[in-house]
C-alpha cells in the first residue's frame, strides 16, 4: 500500500511515554500532528514541549476513548493515524479493566476513520510483543500469537495472573484491528500496520515530575539503577526512540500488500503487516553493565553475573520493510542516565 509522505497525523494518547516521542518524530520530519489527550490539563506540558513547531502541532480533548464516536471529530482532515492510547499496568483485578479500553479504543478509532476519516490512508496500531509471545523452541516472529494468555484469562477470569491479563488485552486489541480491516476493507481507503515492541526503555519526554510518576517500564529501569539489591530477571526490550521512529516509518514507507488474517501462512510467506520493534533479549544485569565507566554513582549489581538471557526475537522484518536500525543497549542506557541527571533525579 502507498505511504503518507506529508499532511497531518493523528496521535492518540499524545501525552504518554511512547506517544510524546512519536509526536516529536513526526514533527521533526515535517509532518503536522494532531494529538488527543483526555483533558486540557494533560496537554499543557505538550504545548510547552512542542511550542517551537507552531501551528504544526495541535491538541484535541477526547475524554473517554471507549465512548461511541469518541474520535469522530479528531479523525477529520488527517491523512494518517498513530493509535497509541491503551492501558499498561499489572494491577488489574477484573481483566476487562485492561481489555475493554484496549479493544473499544482500537475499534472505535477504526470505526471513526471508516465513517469520518475520508483523507486517512494508513493507521498504525501500537500493539506489543506480548501479543506475540508464546512457547516455542525458535525465535519468536510476527507469525506468532500469545493465545496462551487469552486462554488463561478465559479459564480463570479475575484469578488469572496480572501479566496474562495485560497480554490478553494486547492480543484482543490487535486482533480486533485486523478483524475490522478484514470486514471493511472494501469500504475504506486505508490500510493498517501494527508495531510490536517489548519492554520499552529510554529517556522521558512526557510530563513526569519525579521518579515515582514514571510509567511501568521506565520505573523498572530507574529502580534497577538506583535501588540496592540483586538484579534478577529480564526479557526483551526496545528503545523508545526506535519505537517512535518506527511509527513514522510505518506511515511514510510503502508496505506489502494487504493480507487477510484468514490468509496468513508462514509456509507461503504471507502475513499481516505487523512488525517486532527491538526485541533483543536482556538480563537486568546487562543494563547495569552497559552503563558508561564514568557512571560510578549508580548500582552495579554483580558485573558480568548473567546466568541466563531470554532468546532474541526475530526483528528482521522491521529492518527489511521499515528500514529501521536499532539503538544499542549502551546508547540507550547512556541517554537514560543522562536524562535522570538532567531532571535532577540523580546527582552525577
pLDDT (tens digit per residue) in 42-73: 999 999 999 999 999 999 999 999 999 999 99
Mean pLDDT of 17-32: 97
> Is 1 or 210 the better-scoring residue by pLDDT?
210
pLDDT at 305 over 70: yes
Cα–Cα nearest to 102, from 134, 131, 66, 145: 66
**Residue 197, pLDDT score:** 98
| Angle, CA 244 vertex, CA 166 and CA 55 arms, to 5° | 120
176 neighbors 111 (Cβ within 8 angstroms): no
- DSSP state, residue 227: S
**Residue 229, pLDDT score:** 80
pTM: 0.96
**Residue 4, pLDDT score:** 82
Q: In whole angstroms, give the CA distance from residue 27 to residue 16.
A: 16
* Grid coordinates of 310: 531470554
Q: How many CA atoms lie within 13 A of 310 on its CB side?
A: 23
| Angle, CA 223 vertex, CA 12 and CA 307 arms, to 5° | 110
Q: How confident is the model at residue 2 (pLDDT cuts 50, 70, 90)?
A: low
Backbone angles phi, psi at 96, to 5 degrees: -65, -20
pLDDT at 211 over 70: yes
Mean pLDDT of 266-272: 96
Q: In whole angstroms, give the CA distance from residue 304 to residue 323.
A: 33
Burial of 237 (0-12, 13-18, 19+ CB in 10 A): buried
Q: In whole angstroms, give the CA distance from residue 202 to residue 269.
A: 33
Bridge partners for 32 per DSSP: 8
Q: Which residues contact 269 (CB under 8 A, 6 or more apart)?
A: none
Mean pLDDT of 67-88: 94
Cα–Cα nearest to 290, from 325, 252, 239: 239
**Residue 203, pLDDT score:** 98
Bridge partners for 58 per DSSP: 34
User: What do you get for the CA distance between the two ends of the chain, in Å?
Assistant: 49
For 127-151, how does the pLDDT look when each residue is reduced to its tens digit (9 = 90+)? 999 999 999 999 999 999 999 999 9
For 277-301, how does the pLDDT look when each residue is reduced to its tens digit (9 = 90+)? 999 999 999 999 999 999 999 999 9
pLDDT at 87 over 80: no
**Residue 290, pLDDT score:** 97
pLDDT at 91 over 90: no
Cell 484469562 appears where?
A: 153
What is the overall mean pLDDT for the chain?
A: 95
Amino acid at each position: 500500500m502507498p505511504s503518507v509522505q506529508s499532511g497531518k497525523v493523528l496521535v492518540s494518547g499524545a501525552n504518554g511515554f511512547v506517544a510524546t516521542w512519536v509526536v516529536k518524530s513526526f514533527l521533526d520530519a515535517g509532518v503536522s500532528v494532531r494529538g488527543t489527550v483526555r483533558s486540557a490539563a494533560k496537554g499543557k506540558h505538550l504545548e510547552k514541549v512542542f511550542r517551537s513547531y507552531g501551528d504544526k502541532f495541535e491538541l484535541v480533548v477526547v475524554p473517554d476513548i471507549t465512548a461511541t464516536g469518541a474520535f469522530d471529530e479528531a479523525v477529520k482532515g488527517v491523512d494518517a493515524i498513530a493509535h497509541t492510547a491503551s492501558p499498561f499496568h499489572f494491577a488489574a483485578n477484573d481483566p476487562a479493566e485492561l481489555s475493554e479500553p484496549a479493544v473499544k479504543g482500537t475499534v472505535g478509532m477504526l470505526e471513526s476513520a471508516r465513517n469520518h476519516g475520508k483523507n486517512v490512508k494508513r493507521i498504525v496500531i501500537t500493539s506489543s510483543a506480548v501479543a506475540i509471545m508464546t512457547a516455542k523452541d525458535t525465535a519468536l516472529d510476527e507469525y506468532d500469537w500469545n493465545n496462551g494468555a487469552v486462554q488463561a484469562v478465559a479459564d480463570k477470569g479475575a484469578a488469572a495472573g496480572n501479566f496474562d491479563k495485560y497480554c490478553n488485552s494486547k492480543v484482543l486489541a490487535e486482533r480486533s484491528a485486523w478483524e475490522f480491516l478484514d470486514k471493511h476493507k472494501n469500504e475504506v481507503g486505508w490500510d493498517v500496520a501494527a508495531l510490536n515492541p517489548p519492554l520499552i526503555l529510554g529517556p522521558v519526554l512526557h510530563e513526569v515530575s519525579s521518579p515515582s510518576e514514571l510509567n511501568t517500564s521506565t520505573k523498572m529501569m530507574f529502580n534497577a539503577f538506583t535501588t540496592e539489591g540483586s538484579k534478577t530477571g529480564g526479557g526483551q526490550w526496545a528503545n523508545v526512540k526506535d519505537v517512535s521512529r518506527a511509527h513514522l516509518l510505518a506511515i511514510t514507507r510503502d508496505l506489502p500488500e494487504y493480507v487477510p488474517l484468514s490468509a496468513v501462512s508462514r509456509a507461503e510467506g504471507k502475513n499481516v503487516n505487523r512488525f517486532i520493534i527491538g526485541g533483543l533479549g536482556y538480563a537486568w544485569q546487562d543494563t547495569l553493565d552497559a552503563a558508561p565507566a564514568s557512571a560510578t554513582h549508580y548500582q552495579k549489581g554483580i558485573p558480568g553475573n548473567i546466568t541466563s538471557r531470554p532468546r532474541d526475537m526475530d526483528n528482521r522484518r522491521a529492518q527489511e520493510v521499515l528500514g529501521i536500525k536499532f539503538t544499542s543497549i549502551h546508547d540507550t542506557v547512556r541517554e537514560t542516565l543522562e536524562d535522570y541527571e538532567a531532571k535532577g533525579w540523580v546527582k552525577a
